[in-house]
Amino acid sequence: MESLQAIKQRFGIIGNDHLLNVALQKAVRVAPTDISVLVTGESGVRKESIPKIIHQLSHRKHSKYIAINCGAIPEGTIDSELFGHEKGAFTGATQTRSGYFEVADGGTIFLDEVGELPLPTQVRLLRVLETGEFLKVGSSKVQKTDVRIVAATNIKMLIAIQKGKFREDLYYRLSTVEIHLPPLRDRSEDIHLLFRKFASDFALKYKMPTIRLEENAINTLISQPWKGNIRQLKNITEQISVIEQNRSINNEILKAYLPDSNHNLPAIIEDKNTSSDFANEREILYKVLFDMRNDINDLKKLTEELINDGDTKTPTDNTQVLMDKLYESERNKDENTLEIIPSKGAESYQGNSKNDDFEDAETVEETISLQEKEEEMIKSSLDRNKGKRKLAAKELGISERTLYRKIKQYDL
């Protein structure tokens, strides 16, 4: 059996980190078997190296090795790609086609980003793992295949299972042995080694002297979080190699190529499917409350004006002016503003002196039920759009699903 150092050289793996060595040792031990392997780790940690090691060190090394990116194949064609199809199975199927599981019979299939597989395809894959059987799309003839499956993913599979996006039974079939590759930030001793290797490679590629980091730049390089892992480090090394004329890179030059520190802050990503309806409804309520406050302020302003002008009009005249102004203000508002209704006390005021209590004439009732206001807004919008829910929902700023629920709620 090859030594670990020989395997690293053979497959171009750089680093002496303990976690990396553990992952490689596990790959070497399972290679001679036919056990299914699941490789986990963040994007950019080079998970694709593990299935190559497993295939080359197995008895299948003289058979085909096929790597498939499950996330890059459209959902409508992935079954045909993996299992093949019969002529006429669907529009465009002008001839019978063999899928990867048929072509790779006796070899190894690497399913990268296996967490992106659609649920129907997951059922087919589970059958292959359990019985070695599959059906071509459009065929009823059961076919046999003998393949070693190595899968990889950068998502949390247990969370995907809880959300119903991945089958639990398939996960346990794939992860008979799980190999985890650590992120680059956990391999601090390997970061500079990788940088030097990439710098040397690009110097040969572009026929120029190799760039080298000064001591302070090395410390900055190691302290970075490297969210893009090895892929990100390689890209930055290539940029510096091509652009910088000075081949000695100090700390200031290096920082110019590193991501802004603000980008390293954790991002909170909301699930739009679950929060959009709530946000739209909340905006409507805010608008109603804002309009309500404006109406109350208008009422106060009108009342103060009438009190200040009380010496030129009788209370009865003042009452009529107040009512006229309120009705005029109400007519100028759209359907989204709060309705203000004069009370009976204001209509029946019979005072004859400006010194009499004027509060009865000023008293108004406010319709403050948000549900009633919401119902009125929805009804008005439906009337304006002649019952077309899609247009009404767009006007109200809510989804059609929310509008449909509100229509049922208010029996409109």
User: Could you tell me the residue ranges of all domains in the chain?
Assistant: 4-182, 185-262, 272-410
> What Cα–Cα distance (Å) separates residue 288 from each residue in 110, 203, 297, 306, 310?
57, 65, 14, 27, 33
Joined tokens for residue 201: 């490679």
Q: Which of 252, 257, 216, 217 is nearest to 240 (CA)?
A: 257
Length of the chain: 412
Task: Work out the angle at residue 231's Cα, subtended by the Cα atoms of residues 30 and 222, and round it to the nearest 5 degrees.
Answer: 100
- Write down the residue that tokens 């295939």 correspond to: 55
Pick the CATH number of 4-182 from 3.40.30.10, 3.40.50.300, 3.30.365.10, 2.40.50.140: 3.40.50.300
Q: Using one digit for the tens of pLDDT, what is the confidence trace for 181-206?
A: 999 999 999 999 999 999 999 999 99
What is the per-residue pLDDT for 266? 42
Which stretches in the chain have pLDDT values below 50?
A: 261-275, 311-316, 333-368
What pLDDT is recorded for position 367?
46
Place of tokens 């490689």: 24
**Rg of the chain's alpha carbons, rounded to an integer?**
36
Alpha-carbon distances of 233 from 81, 221, 228, rounded to whole Å: 33, 9, 8
The answer to whether 50 and 181 are in contact (CB under 8 A) is yes
Architecture of domain 185-262: Orthogonal Bundle (1.10)
Q: How far apart are CA 323 and CA 318, in angstroms?
A: 9
Are 323 and 342 in contact, with CB atoms under 8 Å apart? yes
Q: How far apart are CA 148 and CA 136, in angstroms?
A: 19
The separation between CA 204 and the C-alpha centre of its own chain, rounded to angstroms, equals 40
Q: Which helix (H) or strand (E) holds 149?
A: strand 148-153
Vertex 53 angle, CA 50 and 55, to 5°: 110
Q: Please say whether the beta carbons of 1 and 10 come within 8 A.
A: no
Separation of first and last alpha carbons in the chain: 77
Torsion of CA 390, 395, 398, 399, to 10 degrees: 20
| Residue 109: φ, ψ to 5° | -115, 125
- Measured distance CA(74)–CA(121) in Å, rounded: 12
Rounded to two decimals, what is the model's pTM? 0.63
Burial category of 114 from C-beta neighbours within 10 Å (exposed 0-12, middle 13-18, buried 19 and up):
buried
The reported pLDDT for the residue numbered 76 is: 87
CA pair distance 41, 61, nearest whole angstrom: 25
Residue type, 385: N
Question: In the prediction, which pLDDT does 30 show?
Answer: 97
Residue 397 CB: number of other CB atoms within 10 A? 13
